[in-house]
Amino acid sequence: MEKNAKIYVAGHRGMVGSALVRRLESEGYQNIIVRTSRELDLRNQQAVADFFAAEKPAYVFLAAAKVGGIMANNIYRADFLYENLQIQNNVIHSAHVEGVEKLMFLGSSCIYPKLAPQPLQEDSLLTGPLEYTNEPYAIAKIAGIKMCESYRKQYGRNYISVMPTNLYGPNDNYDLNNSHVLPAMIRKFHEAKVENKPFVELWGTGSPLREFLHADDLADACVYLMKNYDGEQFVNIGVGEDITIKNLAELIKATVGYEGELRWNTDKPDGTPRKLMDVSKLHSMGWKHRYGLEEGVRITYQDFLQKLEEYAV
């Protein structure tokens, strides 16, 4: 990507999009276009078409999506499917119409079958049933991958897709009802510490294994691939190692400084038993993550403390 190229980052206010903007700016890219959802509703086909016709970006990072944790995914199934399909369809098609030079679509590790062999390899896509709780979101993301493949095959477009593992970091969503597991734990343990609660209750058994990637590492990998990868197959982005939810809870509990008891509500769902990415393809291209989980959680807790006023109970 040329330093003066016009780059559109869709979803710049989110954790991933904001990390992408930080990364691009740190590398000297200054012609970055962003729009808030109020300025540009990506679900609106005409609005997106008009935006692309007026701005004509050369590169697009499609990091905008409706996201949430197990509960939100399961409750708002229609919203997750409809809104994510709309966003993807509009951005990818308008990029094609206006001749965008290269587009990167960001998916999610939930695209893989629930019981796919571990670690998850790119070739496992569509080889079995999905995890029910986030099936609509996963189907939307799979459709996005296939759109990029199809525009490449039919029109010769250089559209690539990446599949990040579970993410965390600055600008995360710490809402207890619709956030992901790591930021939700940070908030739960912090509030329990402040309120001197004797115990913190968490969902499930604590046995599922999860992999966590810092958002700044993801942004670094995305920019690296945008510069160095033009292949048809999507690429996993992760750290290649995982941790049990129970051990994650103990790490966050220690980071926050909460001294009470941990209780597990086994009536609540665990979700997928394990979700570890095979990142050998990415490693073979010369990229590896920088942040260890302990350091990353410490940085993220500091970010949460800065945002406390927004999430005051």
Indicate the pLDDT class of residue 71, thresholds 50, 70 and 90: confident
**Span 9-61, pLDDT tens digits:** 999 999 999 999 999 999 999 999 999 999 999 999 999 999 999 999 999 99
**167 assigned to a ligand binding site:** yes
**Span 240-278, pLDDT tens digits:** 999 999 999 999 999 999 999 999 999 988 877 888 999
Mean pLDDT, rounded, of the chain: 94
- Which pLDDT score is estimated for 205? 95
Decide if 291 is catalytic: no
- DSSP single-letter state for residue 120: B
**Span 131-174, pLDDT tens digits:** 888 899 999 999 999 999 999 999 999 999 999 999 999 988 88
**44 assigned to a ligand binding site:** no
DSSP H stretches of helix in the chain: 15-26, 45-55, 70-75, 77-97, 135-155, 181-194, 215-228, 245-256, 280-284, 293-306
Catalytic residue, chosen from 59, 137, 168, 291, is 137
**150 assigned to a ligand binding site:** no
pTM higher than the cut 0.75: yes
**134 assigned to a ligand binding site:** no
Indicate the pLDDT class of residue 189, thresholds 50, 70 and 90: very high
d(CA 245, CA 240) in angstroms, rounded, equals 16
**109 assigned to a ligand binding site:** yes
Instruction: For the chain, give the percent of residues with pLDDT over 70.
Output: 98
- Which pLDDT score is estimated for 173? 86
Instruction: For the chain, give the percent of residues with pLDDT over 90.
Output: 85
* 196: alpha, beta or left? (left if phi > 0; alpha if psi -120 to 50): left
**104 assigned to a ligand binding site:** no
**Domain 7-170+211-240+276-291 - what CATH class?**
alpha beta
Q: Which of 50, 44, 158, 65 is nearest to 107 (CA)?
A: 65
Q: Is the dihedral of CA 152, 22, 291, 14 positive or negative?
A: negative
**128 assigned to a ligand binding site:** no
d(CA 173, CA 300) in angstroms, rounded, equals 11
How do the domains of the chain map onto residue ranges? 7-170+211-240+276-291
**164 assigned to a ligand binding site:** yes
- Which pLDDT score is estimated for 290? 96
d(CA 87, CA 140) in angstroms, rounded, equals 10
